[in-house]
Amino acid sequence: MSVAEEISRRILAALDPAVLEVIDESEKHRGHAGYREGGQSHFRVEITAPGLDGLSRVQRHRAVHDALGAELLARIHALAIVFGQPDQPDQSLSEGGS
């Protein structure tokens, strides 16, 4: 199972998101610190989950990190998380999330 698949599996199980996209952005970081040949080091997670509604930004990040677990986080060099709003599930998260 790829790291991206494992990220998706763990977030789906823990947070039951309405919207989830896991993007491997490793190739954009070729030559930078933490890049590994073959990718699987830099990720963007775009998520809308009702269970995160009302939480502060720090609490939302902690919830995602808790869902992933320390072992998986140790294998990821960089993780960007973009949060959508549950009342706007069709909004493009890349354009308007926080």
SS3 37: coil
Mean pLDDT, range 25-37, rounded to an integer: 67
Q: Between vectors from CA 15 to CA 58 and to CA 21, what angle results, nearest 5°? A: 85
Q: How confident is residue 40, by pLDDT bands cut at 50, 70 and 90?
A: confident
Mean pLDDT of the chain: 85
Class of the domain covering 3-87: alpha beta
Q: Give the chain's count of helices (H) and strands (E).
A: 4, 3
Mean pLDDT, range 64-80, rounded to an integer: 96
pLDDT value at residue 39: 67
What are the structural domain ranges in the chain? 3-87
Of the ranges 1-5, 52-56, 61-65, the best mean pLDDT one:
61-65
